[in-house]
A and B are shown apart, each in its own frame.
Chain A
Amino acid sequence: MRTRGKLASTGLHTILVGASVIAVFPVAWVALTALKTERDTWSRPGELGTLGLDNFGQVLGDTQFATWFANSLLVAAGTTVLGVLIAATAGYAASRMRFPGQRPLMWTFLVTQMFPAAVLIVPLYNVMARLGLLDSYAGLILAQCTIAVPYCAWMLKGYFDTIPVSIDEAGRIDGLSPFGTFWRLIVPLARPGISVTVFYSFITAWGEVAFAGVFLQSEGHYTLPVGMATFVSDFKAEWGLLTAGSVLVMLPAAVVFFGVQRHLVAGLTAGGVKN
């Protein structure tokens, strides 16, 4: 490789620094605004005012933020557990066995994975209303499973495909049933894949806006996106609370994210193309 000229090197770093600034600035700005304690300093970007943690105290103490946080965790965890549990066996069967109905099944996974909430939201809303599941966590979890289940099944099938079939064969020779092979041999081996699936369906459910926005009706049941949207509306602009809440959401998300992101890309692209 030839060495780069000084000019080229400077250009390279300039572009990367510029791009990094654009990537980081909005996040940094939200964090900075969260630290501004005086009301309405947010509307004067040039001023710093006094900095402090007042907004965080307020959002945790005086609003239902903590409840929404817990609600979001509950709904996301429920959706993930249900989705992954149900989808794992199907993903395995689709990966290892040939059976009639397999193609239509994979086809359904592929298509329903693409369905936006808008396609199902009206009929699901009517069904939930009839079953009395509106404004309940169970109803929201079921609704979010329409996104999670096909997605998890598709992604897990992709993972199981990467595990050599010879392992299954060894298990079968040792007298394990197909389910035993799956449960005792493949699941432990697929743990990295399963954890990425878990992570991804968790954050999808956790930030889901469309279903949560109409299915949840009382403030105490709101999830984070729905609840935090009430901080800034046509009638009020509590940007201090909103930004402090955003920071509290971003921090744990970012920590976990940076831990798994390398696997995440592999996981997301694995289901699509195999060679």
Chain B
Amino acid sequence: MTTVTAATHAGVAPPPAPPRRALRTRLARHWYAWAMVAPVVLVITVLVLLPLARGIHLSLTDATELNSGRTIGVNEIPATYSFVGLDNYVEVLSGADGAFYPRLLWTVQWTVVCVTLHYGLGLGLALLLNRALRLRTLYRMLLILPWAVPPFVAAFGWRLILNEQGGVLNTLLGMAGVSAVDWLGEPLAAKVSVIMVNVWLGVPFMMVALLGGLQTVPRELYEAAEMDGASPWQRFRAVTLPGLRPVSGTVLLLGTIWTFNQFPVIALLTGGGPGGATNILVTEAYERAFQGIRDYAGAATYGAIIASMLVVFASFYRRWLQRHTGEVLG
């Protein structure tokens, strides 16, 4: 995307053809590129855009498991759900369903806390590892380990550790004189638990990415800053952080998206419980669609709302990217 912008600005694109012959000229000039992207366009249209349109349509109806068309044996039961306009959106966004705003608030808290901790801890560890240090390679390998664990496996392992009865964490706390905590059964403790597990999973990526970024900051800048009598903190503020900006921007974006969409950790660790307390928007939508009487319309409404939030987020990102690239090029 950035190169697209750069190239267009650099004037690589040919001047537009006169309107009469436009289509034919464009076809002659671009058929090759279009042919090369055709398979992807086809797949995205069929698997993403059409289902998305269908989802938006569903969100305007009152479809549930009971009134959707289905086939039982040889009998085909026709769909009987009806169009209800924006009722679902009104219900969700007015807060009448009682879940949306608490979930949204928790999703934001979850994303902000997790990404902050990911980044903060990752940066701290990267700074430590960026020094001349004995056993550096060993530390790096050990610290990177959580990233090598598939999230679903990590969720299972942590459930074992966090078990109220006989979980090793409570045993360790017991030895320190702290009474047992029902880590996955109390709303607040469950929130702390899912954040803890997600932080454990996410720090290594940040650490490695930022370590790579640190190594690209020119040494001379540090030396110059030191000559000028800058304190370590000043050097960090004036040299390290600006030097890390390109990497930071990317990893913060990725981290935000990954955390916002983090399905396995919450679904497998707490299942959204207790009482939905740890459900983020993504798991909430999933639960509506596939638990109890399946509320397809409600889930589709959540899906549409999540998708529009992401589109807004992505356009801010794109703007940031363009400004950012402009700086780099200028």
Contact = CB atoms under 8 A, between A and B. Distances in A.
Interface of A: 1, 12-13, 15-16, 19-20, 22-24, 26-27, 29-30, 33, 42-46, 86-87, 89-90, 92-95, 97-103, 105-108, 110-127, 129, 142-143, 145-146, 149-150, 153, 161, 178-179, 182, 203, 206-207, 209-210, 213-214, 224-225, 228-229, 232, 239, 242-243, 246, 249-250, 253-254, 257-258, 261, 265-266, 268-269, 272-275
A122 B289 contact: yes
A89 B22 CA distance: 26
Given A110-B314, A126-B54, A275-B325, A86 B204 contact: no
Contacts of A127: 51, 54
B4 interface: yes
Contacts of A246: 153, 156-157
A23 B249 contact: no
Contacts of B2: 273-275
A125 B94 CA distance: 28
A99 B30 contact: yes
B251 A106 contact: no
A178 B167 CA distance: 60
B84 interface: no
B180 to A, nearest CB: 12
Interface string B266-307: 011000000000000111011001100000100110111011
A50 B220 CA distance: 58
Contacts of B54: 123, 126-127
Nearest to B296: A122
B209 interface: yes
B303 A119 contact: yes
Contacts, number: 303
A232 B52 contact: no
Contacts of A86: 39-40, 43
Contacts of A98: 4, 7-8, 12-13, 33
Given A112-B48, A116-B282, A269 B209 contact: yes
Interface stretch (B85-93, B111-119, B124-132, B234-242): B124-132
A12 B47 CA distance: 51
Interface of B: 1-4, 7-8, 12-13, 26, 30, 32-34, 36-37, 39-41, 43-44, 47-48, 51-52, 54-55, 58, 68, 70, 125, 128-129, 131-133, 135, 139, 141-154, 156-161, 163, 165-168, 171, 200, 204-205, 208-209, 212, 246-247, 249-251, 253-254, 257, 260-261, 263-264, 267-268, 281-283, 285-286, 289-290, 296, 299-300, 302-304, 306-307, 310-311, 313-314, 317-318, 321, 324-325, 328-329
A54 B273 CA distance: 33
A180 to B, nearest CB: 11
From A45, A110, A117, A203, name the one whose CB has the most chain B CB atoms within 10 angstroms: A45
Nearest to B154: A26
A45 B40 contact: no
B268 to A, nearest CB: 7
